[in-house]
Amino acid sequence: MTAVLLAHRTLIQIQGPDALSFLQGLTTNNVLALMPGHCVYTAFLNPQGKFLNDAFVIMVAENYVWLDVELEHVSILLQKLAIYKLRSQITLMHLPEILVYADISAESAAEPKESVIIIDPRTKSIGKRIYTKKPYTTALIAMNEYERLRISLCLPDGTRDIPYERGFILEYGFEKLNAIDFQKGCYIGQELTARMYYRNLGKRQLVCLECEGNAPVFGTEVKQNEIIVGTTRSHSGSLMLAHIKSEALENNEAFFIDEKIARIKNK
C-alpha cells in the first residue's frame, strides 16, 4: 500500500430517502444510478456555470451518502446545501472525524478496520480513496509523490487549480474525468456548460508542463513568443499544471516560464 493523507479534504454526510434526488439537481453528474459501495466524481456550479466545488459522491448504503469535498469550503457548501434542501427528506452533517486517504498502489492490501474504500472514478491510474477514523501508521508516501502523479495525469484538485466562482469546468477537462453527464436532466449551471460543450466554446485548456529545475509558484505567467498565453497552477518538482489558451496549444511551440523552457508532458 502506498497511501497519503489528504488533509485538505473532508466529508459531508447526506442521509435520508431523498439524498440522491437532492444531489441530482445540484451537480453535473448522474448520481441516481449509484449503488452502495460505488462513487462518482462531480462538480457544483453557480447559476452562471462557474466552478464552486468538486466532489466525490460515495453511496455508503441505501439513503446514506458521503461527499468528499475541500475542507476550505465545507462551511460555505453546507450553507448552500441547506438553502436548497427545502422539503427534501435529508439531514446534512460534517464528518471531520473521518480521514481521507489516497492509495496509489495497484495491488490490494489490508486496510484499517471499518474503512470505506472506493476506486477513484476519474482514472484508474490514480488508485483508490480510503475513508477511515483510524490513522495509518505505516506504508505512507510523501505528499509530493502523490502530487507528482496527480499533476502528471492532469487532474485538477478543486480550488487549488480552479478559481472559485470564476473557472469553467470544461476548460479544466472535467468531461475527460467522468464528471459530467450530458444526458441527465437539469442542474444548476447546466445551460452554459452544455452550450460550451456542444458549440466548442472553451478558450483554454488545462495541461501538464515540465520544465528544467523546479516549477514556479501558482499564478506565474506562461509565455509563447513573448506573449502571455496562460498561468501556472499547482506544481511538484519539475511538473506543473497550467491553464493555457487553446490556440497556443495548436502552435506546437515551446512555452517559457520565468525564462525557463517548458513543454507539454506526454503530448
Q: 3-class SS at 42?
A: strand
Amino acid letter, 184 = K
Strands of 9-15's sheet in order across: 38-45, 51-61, 64-70, 9-15, 91-94
* pLDDT tens, residue order, the chain (267 aa): 588 999 999 999 999 999 999 999 999 999 998 999 999 999 999 999 999 999 999 999 999 999 999 999 999 999 999 999 999 999 999 999 999 999 998 665 556 667 899 999 999 999 999 999 988 876 688 899 999 999 999 999 999 999 999 999 999 999 999 999 999 989 999 999 999 999 999 999 999 999 988 999 999 999 999 999 999 999 999 999 999 999 999 988 889 999 889 999 865
CA nearest neighbour of 43 among 56, 34, 58:
56
CA nearest neighbour of 171 among 221, 121, 206, 131:
206
Second-level CATH architecture of 158-264: Beta Barrel (2.40)
Q: Which residues contact 149 (CB under 8 A, 6 or more apart)?
A: 104, 125, 126
Kindly list the distances between the CA atom of residue 46 and the CA atoms of 80, 166, 190, 197, 199, in Å, as whole numbers in the listed order. 10, 10, 9, 17, 20
Question: Which residues share a beta bridge with 117?
Answer: 130
Second-level CATH architecture of 3-142: 2-Layer Sandwich (3.30)
Residue 238: phi and psi, rounded to 5, are -90, -5
Q: Please report, for the chain, the start and end positions of each structural domain, with discontinuous segments joined by +.
A: 3-142, 158-264
Please work out, in degrees rounded to the nearest 5, the angle formed at the alpha carbon of residue 175 by the alpha carbons of 265 and 41. 100
DSSP string, 107-121: S-----TT-EEEE-S
